[in-house]
């Protein structure tokens, strides 16, 4: 039989072994817990790195897209600046420049954030900075061109305003000239009408001045035609024949005093009953001393006292109507 001392030693050994095994188990569990926690931490770091890489790639992609957009917009500016200056060209260039500046500012912000993560010497960032610098140089050139175009456009606008002003002034001058011409035309027409009227009046007056009237006939015919009348005397004795105050003008022939200077009478012995200057005419006679016509040598003097000539004949030499004839024809 085992002694109580041996039993006690055996129990003590078991307890020691149990304690050792317990401590080992605790140690192994602790180590496993720490390893698991480290694994989680490393996984988190890996996930964060993956996320950073994805974010960086997205940032790089955004930079690339922005640069492409900026380059495209720069091409639009190139095409626009090569056009003839129009009212909207400079406005489009200014808008494009403002838009490109916004794109470049976004790229600068993205690069700044990437630099904090990747460092200054990242090759892609260096490349992007260089692209941005080149674009910025182009933008400065575009801004200069845009300013020149704006200045030229403003100058053109001022020239256009001045041209419109001058055009309006010219239109007013033309309108004034047209009005003046119309007024002068109206004045000329009025004067022409007046001149026409005066010319007609002068012509009529000239015709009237140049016109005279004559009648040739026996005393009996002249009295019968209400041209002359007897004045004075007693029972016809001692009376004289004279032109009636209200004589019949239809009995007279009308002549032009300058064109018709030879008045046919063909009456043999004649008497001139109206008053005419004796120095202004001649009596043209035939071989038998019969008066053929009265030749007026000075029309102005002859017709000065009277525009009516009344010639009385004793007997007519010819029957029928007598035609005016020029003595040069005989």
Q: What is the pLDDT of residues 80-135, one digit of tens each?
A: 555 544 546 666 777 777 777 787 787 788 777 777 777 776 777 787 778 777 77
Whole-model pTM: value is 0.44
Run of H or E residues at 243: strand 240-243
User: Can you tell me the mean pLDDT for 67-77?
Assistant: 63
pLDDT at res. 255: 94
55 — pLDDT class (breaks 50, 70, 90): low
Question: What is the token pair recorded at 181?
Answer: 């011409």
pLDDT at res. 284: 92
Phi-psi region of 64 (alpha: psi -120 to 50; beta: other; left: phi over 0): alpha
58 — pLDDT class (breaks 50, 70, 90): low
Residues 271-324 pLDDT 10s:
999 999 999 999 999 888 889 889 999 999 999 999 999 999 887 655 544 444
Q: Mean pLDDT highest for which of 69-73, 130-134, 147-151, 249-253?
A: 249-253
pLDDT at res. 214: 94
Above 60 in pLDDT, residue 238?
Answer: no
Q: Which residue has the higher pLDDT, 314 or 259?
A: 259
pLDDT at res. 154: 79
Q: Which residue has the higher pLDDT, 101 or 251?
A: 251
Above 50 in pLDDT, residue 269?
Answer: yes
d(CA 273, CA 231): 13
d(CA 71, CA 105): 14
Among 17-31, 93-107, 170-184, 241-255, where is mean pLDDT lowest? 17-31
Above 80 in pLDDT, residue 21?
Answer: no
d(CA 74, CA 97): 8
- Among candidates 76, 82, 81, which has minimal Cα distance to 96? 76
Task: Compute CA 132 distance to the chain's CA centroid, rounded to the nearest angstrom.
Answer: 52
Residues 6+ apart with CB under 8 A from 44: none
pLDDT at res. 20: 64
Residues 6+ apart with CB under 8 A from 290: 266, 267, 268, 269, 317
């Amino acid at each position: 039989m085992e002694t109580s001392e041996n039993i006690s030693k055996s129990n003590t050994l078991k307890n020691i072994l149990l304690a050792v095994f317990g401590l080992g188990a605790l140690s192994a569990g602790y180590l496993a817990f720490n390893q698991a926690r480290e694994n989680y931490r490393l996984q988190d770091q890996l996930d964060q790195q993956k996320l950073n890489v994805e974010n960086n790639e997205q940032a790089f992609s955004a930079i690339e897209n922005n640069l492409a957009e900026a380059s495209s917009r720069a091409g639009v500016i190139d095409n626009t600046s090569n056009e003839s200056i129009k009212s909207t060209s400079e406005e489009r260039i200014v808008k494009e420049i403002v838009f490109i500046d916004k794109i470049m500012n976004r790229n600068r912000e993205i690069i700044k954030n990437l630099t904090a993560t990747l460092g200054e010497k990242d090759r892609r960032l260096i490349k992007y900075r260089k692209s941005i610098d080149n674009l910025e140089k182009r933008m400065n050139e575009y801004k200069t061109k845009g300013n020149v175009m704006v200045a030229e456009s403003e100058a053109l606008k001022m020239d256009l305003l001045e041209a419109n002003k001058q055009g309006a002034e010219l239109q007013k001058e033309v309108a004034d000239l047209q009005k003046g011409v119309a007024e002068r035309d109206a004045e000329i027409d009025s004067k022409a009408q007046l001149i026409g009227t005066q010319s007609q009046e002068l012509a009529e007056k000239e015709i009237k001045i140049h016109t005279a009237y004559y009648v040739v006939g026996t005393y009996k015919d002249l009295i019968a035609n209400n041209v002359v009348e007897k004045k004075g005397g007693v029972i016809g004795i001692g009376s004289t024949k004279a032109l009636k105050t209200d004589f019949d003008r239809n009995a007279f022939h009308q002549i032009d005093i300058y064109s018709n200077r030879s008045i046919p009478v063909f009456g043999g012995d004649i008497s001139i009953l109206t008053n005419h200057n004796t120095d202004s005419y001649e009596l043209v006679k035939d071989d038998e001393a019969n008066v053929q016509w009265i030749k007026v040598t000075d029309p102005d003097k002859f017709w000065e006292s009277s525009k009516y000539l009344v010639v009385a004949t004793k007997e007519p030499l010819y029957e029928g109507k007598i035609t005016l004839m020029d003595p040069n024809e005989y």
